Structure 1
């Protein structure tokens, strides 16, 4: 976990031994080796979690030059937690697994009925006001992973029912990353995971061990898009820097989660992070429970950590496979 502050006993004026912490040795902002990068990430993680408070389950790794990954942070990573929308990555993996097997096509359509639309303020399906309508599976996945549309979860459930979805994930080794079935077989709650399993899912994805090359590129391109979540890890990054981070956040009640991948300048997966936080954070709990933006202590902590993690790996690379992102161009209408 990097350099830790040591405590020494000093003699006070009353003769009693008092503990006094020595200043923590600051790790350089831009390390040039993976080992120093891990120490820097661990140092900033400790500071931000201490400041935000709450209960955290996290697993963060940095890849060595030879491609081996080693943990910078391993905090209660095997505890089963509520995943919330972070599990939408797992849902997408299950859908794309069926695409790879020829059982589903990205351009096949699903019906958006009035009954299937969740009337919340997350996503866009509840905003268009035109039902019934038809959209493609690809359209549903894009909305699932960028604006985190909850109706898109139900649309995915039309092509991968809950029990089948869980079986696909179990077959890939994810026994804790499971959705919760309900009476309707095509619907489910987003369920649970562990920080380690979510990290493993992301690591296997970039290593090409979960999906076909086409589906892997498709999924990573969505998660790296500028339309994806920006309030957490990506908040303090420039547009071009954000394009080097594939991320997905999840939140509900007191939970504030985020998991993703940072890519080196030559588009290799260099850092993988999985952070789940809940409980009582700094400040007023009632206010925090209703705050899902970067003003929430846990989200603010991830934003600070995101900038530091990016800087910590900006000067290093790895031998891992390249994953080229599309070049994003901006237009002024037309």
Structure 2
């Protein structure tokens, strides 16, 4: 198994690193199976898990996922990056700086760095030579937790007051190519001001197709007001012109402003969306109506309805904990 391969000193280090990454979500399952078993095989499985955990962090330090994987596989790992270790930050920066990193990889890494406040001049310098030929192309982000990399780069350049910001904004202002028009207003999150907020809000209440506009407005408004985006979002409940289903998704997606979730809808397979739904449901700062939105999302999540479809797979302990959490909050309400 990957758990055992990780600790086999006879194998080349790259193979052990690959095994350590593959086993990351397996080891808890190994422990649970061993706890239910008896005899020498159970003891050996527990010992293998101990050996794996003793070397895992050292092997995986400064590494990351295959950025050419399909977007769903990268999305399944998003919750691991809710906080960034120094090694994570270094790896993400290295990928952005690497000319071999493709559009998807740049989008993934730059979004994480930007959201965590870890992106800077170096990332702008690395991407400026590439943006016209490589980044200024259609790249669909409907099913991703990250935005188009040129949106994120433009936001970063504006925040830094980088000289390239004007050139980037001028490109967004051009009428063509047409694919970028639905994304232009998302760049307003960079260096926000009241004029940008007003233009975004006008679009939000116009009924136009939302591709992240309300999310952007909430995050922008929170930056301008110096408040948590959850408190901005909850004030929109019942607001004329704001579509309910979009607001519900945004309310949960902004629960952690250091890692907003940009997926087009609440992803019922995702650990990230499950945890955010729980946090909204339990947030004492929010009124009951807002917390109820979190509870509704939690009830409808696959953790409680189709746990076998959650990715990465849940451990028995996680599933038991999820059911207990839900039962404690629904007792006497049904």
Which TM bucket (shorter chain)?
under 0.3
Larger strand proportion of the pair: 1
More relative contact order, 1 or 2 (CA 8 Å, 6+ apart): 1
Larger helix proportion of the pair: 2
